[in-house]
Amino acid sequence: MEKIINRYKGKGFKLTPQRLAILHYLEGNTDHPTAEDIYQEIRKKNPTVSFATVYNTVQALRDRGELLEITIDPERKHFDPNPQPHHHIMCTNCGKIDDIFIDYSSALKVPENISDEFQVLGNHVDFYGVCKGCRARKTNN
């Protein structure tokens, strides 16, 4: 908690109780929550918090590069409090998302027609698959 406060103190990011609750929930969280997930969790301890505050806060964090917006799930946005570039895999059955910390950049060369047209600034790899739990469940049914 101290760590969080020190990270934002005096950096033009006002630390309100709501924001602290959100930051605390996200700290080290690898569940890739949606805005809804964050809202439901924060509400338990801070019942008057509004959805707008959750959205405002994740936007502010995203704009500061403290948070990544994950597009792997076509249904909704997920958030990842680890801002280092990395990749994701989603279970197409249950939606579970895990992190993959490998830098594939050197292998991800684009063809010439693309590099002529675009200055490439980044990449993100989405993997799709079926997780162990879902495989087990499918075999049983």
Partner DNA sequence: CTATTATAATAGAATTATTCCAAGCTAAGA
Partner DNA sequence: TCTTAGCTTGGAATAATTCTATTATAATAG
Does 134 bind DNA (CB under 7 A)? Our answer is no
- What's the token pair of residue 3? 């760590």
CB of 14 to DNA, least distance (A): 3
Instruction: Single out the residue of 47, 112, 132, 140 in contact with a copy of itself (rule: CB under 8 A).
Output: 132
Whether 87 contacts 127, CB under 8 Å: yes
Distance, CA of 44 to CA of 88 (rounded, Å): 29
Shortest gap between Cβ of 84 and a copy of itself (angstroms)? 15
Is residue 38 within 8 A of residue 22, CB to CB? The reply is yes
Binding mask 88-127 for DNA (x = CB under 7 A): ----------------------------------------
Distance CA 119, CA 129 (A): 31
Among 14, 107, 112, 141, binds a copy of itself (CB under 8 A): 107
